[in-house]
Amino acid sequence: MASHPDRPWKIADFKEIEISGIPEIKSQLIPMVNEYGIQVGISEIDEMLHEKPRKHYIVEFAVPLQYFGLTDLDLGAILDYAVVLQGVIPHPSAAGPPMKPSGIATEDPSSGRVFTVSEKEINEMFEDMLDTQRRTELKGTYRLATKPD
């Protein structure tokens, strides 16, 4: 998914899931709402971290056991998985790696005051922007729960 500088992406912009490693699904891209029973939910959380507002994203997914060669009867089976979150893909007009700004000044339209941003704040904003573009790989091993005796 690409983000345009004049219109940043929003959670509602996500319309497709990229799938690989499941032979029964021939298409690499499937809709968020699909006939395969794969469900994905994305939510955005705003919180304060070190007196600075930060956005965090929670991604939840559910994949039917049949795609892992398991059934509800395979209690105690071990399941290995890997999920890759690709990150935001820069707009095609962005040539080369992202550039860190050397200074930012902005004007408050109501007062006409000009505010400058410190080097520390510039570095934090740049790192936040890079974080959205970084690939994140999640791996895990689960054992299907057994029924209590």
User: pLDDT tens digits for 27-64?
Assistant: 888 988 899 999 888 777 777 766 777 777 777 888 88
Query: How does residue 4 score in pLDDT terms, banded at 50, 70 and 90?
Result: very low
- Interacting residues of 101 by C-beta distance below 8 A, sequence separation 6+: 122, 126
Residue keyed to tokens 């991604």: 59
Whether 58 contacts 43, CB under 8 Å: yes
Nearest to 118 by CA among 126, 129, 110: 126
> Which tokens sit at 98?
């992202």
Return the number of other C-beta atoms located less than 10 Å from residue 38's C-beta.
19
Collapsing DSSP to helix, strand or coil, 126 comes out as: helix
pLDDT of residue 1: 42
H/E segment holding residue 23: none
- Interacting residues of 54 by C-beta distance below 8 A, sequence separation 6+: 46, 47, 48, 128
More confident residue, 56 or 1: 56
